[in-house]
């Protein structure tokens, strides 16, 4: 019995230190407001809507990629594509957000609906299922990757 007590006296401080270290690691892990990621996404799509490509690019990383309709776009190829299209206006509606933030990375899934008016006469509606990845650079969230699939 005395041997068990001596053993417990030696291991107990070690266990306390381990528990303290583990709990302090958890406290240092900061999560950010998921609404900040939404704002970056809204800025990106607002840049498309208003054809403000500087605003669109400022919402993304330099390595940004968009996977859409079986094609891969970066910032430059997306701007080239958008500037070649005929005159259009668009209103985006987003819903069903599922957002995860973990330190300096974040991801989200959501539904996106685009109401397009082309050449002031033709009306088109597109519905997408989208997922996005974000990274925090210099305390600022940036869109790093976007995958868009047309919903039927």
Q: What pTM was computed for the model?
A: 0.78
The structure tokens listed for 53 are 């490509």
Beta bridge partners, 93, equal 113
pLDDT for 134 equals: 98
pLDDT for 29 equals: 47
Give the domain ranges of the chain.
1-29, 34-150
How far apart CA 39 and CA 80 sit, in angstroms, is: 24
How far apart CA 55 and CA 57 sit, in angstroms, is: 5
pLDDT for 28 equals: 46
Contacts of range 3-6, beta carbons closer than 8 Å, 24 or more positions apart: none
CATH topology of domain 34-150: Nuclear Transport Factor 2; Chain: A, (3.10.450)
22-53: b (≥16 Cβ within 10 Å) or e: eeeeeeeeeebeeeebbebbebbbebbbeeeb
End-to-end CA distance of the chain: 72
Provide the residue-wise pLDDT of the chain in tens; the chain has 152 residues: 565 556 556 565 554 566 665 555 554 445 678 899 999 999 999 999 999 999 999 999 999 999 998 999 999 999 998 888 778 899 999 999 999 999 999 999 999 999 999 888 899 999 999 999 999 999 999 999 999 999 98
């Amino acid at each position: 019995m005395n041997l068990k007590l001596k053993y417990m006296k030696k291991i107990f401080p070690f266990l306390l230190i381990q528990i303290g270290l583990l709990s302090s690691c958890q406290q240092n892990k900061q999560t950010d407001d998921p609404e900040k990621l939404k704002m970056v996404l809204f800025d990106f799509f607002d840049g498309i809507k208003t054809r403000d490509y500087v605003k669109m690019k400022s919402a993304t990383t330099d390595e940004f990629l968009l996977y859409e309709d079986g094609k891969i776009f970066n910032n430059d190829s997306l701007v080239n594509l958008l500037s070649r299209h005929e005159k259009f206006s668009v209103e985006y509606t987003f819903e069903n957000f599922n957002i995860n933030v973990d330190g300096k990375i974040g991801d989200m899934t959501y539904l996106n609906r685009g109401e397009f008016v082309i050449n002031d006469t033709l009306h088109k509606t597109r519905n997408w299922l989208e997922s996005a990845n974000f990274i925090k650079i210099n305390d600022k969230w940036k869109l790093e990757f976007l995958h868009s699939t047309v919903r039927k």
